[in-house]
Amino acid sequence: MSVNPELVGRDFPPTAPYLVGREKVREFARAVFATDPQHTDPAAAQRLGYTDVVAPPTFAMVIQDLTLQQLLSEPDSGIALERTVHAEQRFRYTRPIVAGDELTARLRVTGVRPFGKGAMVTSEAEITDAGGSHVVTAVSVLLIGGEE
Amino acid sequence: MSSSTNADESAAGIEVGTVVAERTVQLTRESLVRYAGASGDFNPIHYRDDVAERVGLPGVLAHGMLTMGLAVETIVEWLGDSGRILEYGVRFTRPVVVDADSGAALTVVAKVGAVDEATLRVDLTVSHGETVVLGKAQVRVRAGA
């Protein structure tokens, strides 16, 4: 099965709210070699005006990944994980993610283009907080290889 | 234009071409396992040699998102507040093979690529040996502190 072009414009439900924990931010910060104290020390984050530790910029991927799981589990998507390569990634921020945020993501597939034997799939996850305000939009370009 | 300001300088006086931060990060297999756990990306090509070989890869690879994540962290101390980051994008152009014994050293150089009144563009060059592994790794940040 090749990638279904009708994924573009399909409505996906918002993901279940993800509560950002302080220890999760610290764990992620350590994993990406983020040494600045704003990521680990609440007092340092508060001096910058935040209520709690600030997640590293690419932490948004953890939330976006919930939407990519939705995409992969669509029965008619034609997207197989083992033939998928992450080609591009982009984040557009209104504000950084902070511990205590309760975040929801909504997926939109914005493009399916033929690429060799496979397809290039562009998807956007709009991530909002508990008040419904925009936090960050995560854009992924996935290359889905064609079947041999 | 009557202004005498150098076109390559922002109000903050930061010139295009200035290196604002750089560092080298030594990745090991432990780094990959740690990132897998922290991110939830447990694709076995990032920790199992047999799986990497079976799918035709040159070896166990670092997660692209680990490379992207550690690259941007290089500039956070210089920025002061990571909330100044407005946009960050990369292309994953070359894989980073992390050897079981020797690991992989990634060098990040962050250079001002463009300035205007309100924003700066910081270009990140991430290299593994002689190979540049990310394409168009650019961070748009709010000018000033």
DSSP of B36-92: HHHH----GGGT-HHHHHHTT-SS-B--HHHHHHHHHHTTHHHHS-GGGEEEEEEEE
Distance from CA of B121 to the nearest CA of A (A): 14
| ipTM of this complex prediction, to 2 decimal places | 0.94
Q: Which domains does chain B have, with CATH numbers?
A: 19-142 (3.10.129.10)
- Name the interface residues of B facing A (CB cutoff 8 Å): 25, 31, 34-35, 37-41, 43, 55, 64-66, 68-70, 72-73, 76-77, 80-83, 85-92
Q: What is the CATH number of domain A5-21+56-144?
A: 3.10.129.10
Distance from CA of B58 to the nearest CA of A (A): 15
pLDDT of the residue at A101: 98
Residue B4 has pLDDT above 50, yes or no: no
All residues of chain B having their beta carbon less than 8 Å from the beta carbon of residue A134 are none
Whether the pTM exceeds 0.90: the reply is yes
- List, for residues A50-95, the tens digit of each pLDDT value: 999 999 999 999 999 999 999 988 889 888 877 888 999 999 999 9
Q: Are A141 and A83 in contact (CB under 8 A)?
A: no
Map out the domains of chain A as residue ranges.
Answer: 5-21+56-144
